[in-house]
Amino acid sequence: MKLKVKDIDIASGGPLVAVMNHEDAAMLDLHVMDRIKIKKGHKIETVVVDIAQSKKIVPKGRIGVFEEVIGSLDLKNNDIVGIAIARKPLSIDYIKKKLDGQKLSKHEISQIVWDIVHNKLSAVELTYFVAACYTNVMSTEETILLTKAMVEHGDVLKLNKYPVVDKHSIGGIPGNRTSLVVVPIIAAAGYYIPKTSSRSITSPAGTADTMEVLANVAFPINKMKGIVLKTHGCIVWGGSLNLAPADDKIISVERPLEIDAESQLLASIMAKKYSVSSTHILIDVPVNKDSKVKNIVEALRLKKQFEKIGRKLKKHVKVLITDGRQPIGNGIGPALEARDVLWLLKRDPRRPIDLEKKCITMCANIFGMIGLKDGRKKALEILNSGKAYSKMIEIIKAQGGKETVAEDIRIGKHSFDVLSPKSGRVADIDNVSVSRIARIAGAPHDKGAGIYLYKHIGSKVKRGEKLFTIYSESRHEFEYAKDVAKSSRVFFVR
């Protein structure tokens, strides 16, 4: 069958999708979610079919194609293409096998990952894979195979250096911008630390969002390599790279379901670290009822799995189980967090001491992993001497930024102070409320929006004293955030 292309100017966000008129579909006995092959010249692509019941969207004799198909086949409006029935991807049978609770082989896992990377699975089919791994937890062997497959079906940063250090936080805690301090300390010590980071999806800021206040974060892999070889470190957005691309697609269907299959969590983190040639990896696991890891039992199980997989992959892995009861640092939101980091690196009295302590602990553990004694003393020496700050400025400049004074970072022009209703000590802080209010205020899409904390758990507070300040760039978002803050219990003072 020959059909004329209609560019319907819609993107699926991943899967390759085409829309056929119901009459044309009936001629080939096609139904919604069946697959067809579209051929243009020597190029062929297998796509998922949707069916239009009205000729208004796609008339008979035409085929509506999503943007991903346009790009893959280099199509133009009114091109003539050949259409043929296609079989479903092989990985569908393997996903069914996992749904039945059976173990998957190396070949089967590799095929599933290949189909994910090349957009051969629909969102529904990918969701079934995630659900299968959530219900029927992968064995350690399967998790290692999944990790390796994720790396193989993407780019790899080859530095040919040893050691190559990396760190990762499981997340779920507001603030916690340790990467922007740990990277310059480790790099200033002469070790390589190519840090890829994420943007926020559900938090007030990801590491990449905060670094973007100071420098560019989107680079191709060859440019990233040049930055690392020149400065020993980088802090770049992983989404601009083709490192373990299956991971981002899996995460995209996990988030709406609010599930995090343990095997996929392990494979996701280890694949990203493997793909930048890391040899020594520190994993931060914050524990709290509101974070990803709820209790110490879960944390210890995860620690055991990370270290076991690390040994199998011939990587040095160490897991730190940390306190996730409250935000780390004072600023929550890209600009406020960037300001905190610069104050810390400049040894300013306004620096967040809790963030500093955590970063020093992380660096001490990293130095210990690579055989250095007195790691804590060395990290402090690098900070106090100004070497860490100088290295951060070097990295910022290499990433297209310039040296910035913390006070010159633009913060939201609308502000509101939340005061303590009574005197006492801060007994608890609701992390979920902190994140929610900061996001309502505009973070992370408005870099200057967020929350600045004046108190932490254990702090003494007087009635009428400031607990935190809300900052916003938008009057509308500011008013809404203020109302939510007034009606929420964020700090618990006793």
Domain coordinates of the chain in residue numbers?
Answer: 2-86, 91-136, 165-237+262-398, 411-493
The 3-state DSSP composition of the chain as helix, strand, coil percent (nearest 5) reads 40, 20, 35
pLDDT band at 87 (very low <50, low <70, confident <90, very high): confident
**CATH code matching the domain that covers 411-493, chosen among 3.90.1300.10, 3.40.190.80, 3.90.1170.30, 1.10.3720.10:** 3.90.1170.30
- Bridge-based pairing of strands 43-52 and 35-40 is antiparallel
Mean predicted confidence (pLDDT) in 229-239: 95
Angstrom distance (rounded) from CA 289 to CA 291? 6
pLDDT at 94: 96
290 is catalytic: no
Percent of the chain surpassing pLDDT 70: 99
pLDDT at 278: 97
List, in sequence order, every residue forming a beta bridge with 65; answer none if it has no partner.
Answer: 7, 18
Indicate the pTM of the whole model: 0.89
Mean predicted confidence (pLDDT) in 440-466: 97
- Fold designation for 165-237+262-398: Pyrimidine Nucleoside Phosphorylase; Chain A, domain 2 (3.40.1030)
pLDDT tops 80 at residue 255: no
| Whole-number average pLDDT of the chain | 94
Angstrom distance (rounded) from CA 51 to CA 33? 9
**CATH code matching the domain that covers 2-86, chosen among 3.30.70.120, 3.90.550.50, 2.40.40.20, 3.40.640.10:** 2.40.40.20
pLDDT at 245: 87
HEC letters along 233-264: EEEEEHHHCCCCHHHHHHHHHHHHHCCCCHHH
pLDDT at 346: 97
Compute φ and ψ for 179, nearest 5 degrees.
Answer: -60, -35
24, 34, 50, 260: the catalytic one is 260
R_g of the chain, CA atoms, integer Å: 25
pLDDT at 199: 86
Q: Which conformational region is residue 277 in: left (phi greater than 0), alpha (psi within -120 to 50 degrees), or beta?
A: left
pLDDT tops 80 at residue 257: no
pLDDT at 425: 97
218-to-215, 298, 349, 371 alpha-carbon distances in Å: 10, 34, 32, 33
Token code pair at residue 452 = 């600045």
pLDDT tops 80 at residue 449: yes
pLDDT tops 70 at residue 403: yes
pLDDT tops 90 at residue 309: yes
pLDDT at 258: 65
pLDDT tops 80 at residue 331: yes
pLDDT at 36: 93
